[in-house]
Structure 1
Amino acid sequence: MAPRRCPCGTGLPYDECCGPRHDCSTPAATAEQLMRSRYSAFAVGDTAYLLATWHSTTRPPSLELDAGVRWTGLDVLRTAGGGLLEQEGTVEFRAHWRSEDGTGDQHEVSRFVREVGAWRYLDAG
């Protein structure tokens, strides 16, 4: 049986891509890696990871995902900053979804900053 592909769109198996980020064994090295791993967390329903990677100043107290939404693809459109030695960055993306009501996408420019050395999602600018 072939390994399950990662939902983030890299083409890599989940266990070699976002899986190690979700189990906290390999932190995101860049803002884009964090954004991809957060998208994958939405796709696999990992609310604990989403909350853990949200910046402490903007993190909601809880998060409930819509079980009727299936995330079907991710397009990273642009990145600015967010590299290995940087402290902040932005990632523009389009996330595609499907529900019983039809299909759609979410277009966002997300801001990421380092908090205690680790990349965190700040907000959508």
Structure 2
Amino acid sequence: MKRILIAILVGLVAVSAAFAYYVIENEKKEELTENATVNVTLIINFGNETEWQFGLTLDEKNATVFYALLKAANENGFNVEYTYYGQYDSYFVDSIAGAGGDGKFWIYYVNGVMGEVGADKKVVGEGDMIEWRLEEFS
């Protein structure tokens, strides 16, 4: 009986140690992910030979095309107007620095490829080039 109790006690200590190790390792991974950053280039092309360019460092957890635009606006003092569409669970950029509308729309590209999802859904990675172009559709 004494051997069984010792075996159970040793087993409980081993399981507790394994669990503690697992928790500590996961906390380290979360900490690394929370502190990870992504460097991107953001270009805003107004279509009239006016172009703005920004180098941005984004938190990895917020690294989307939309967040990059809002961060650039916040850091550089220009306005971004946007509308949320519940049926798409996504945002549409209406204007950047007062430009937009009148048959012109803001379309984003990542590394030269037009976006196929909402800007708030498009995750960007290290070194990506994001370009917002004011384009006319007829």
Higher relative contact order (CA 8 A, sep 6+): 2
Q: Rg larger in 1 or in 2? A: 2
TM over 0.5: no
TM-score (normalised: structure 2):
0.29
TM-score (normalised: structure 1):
0.31
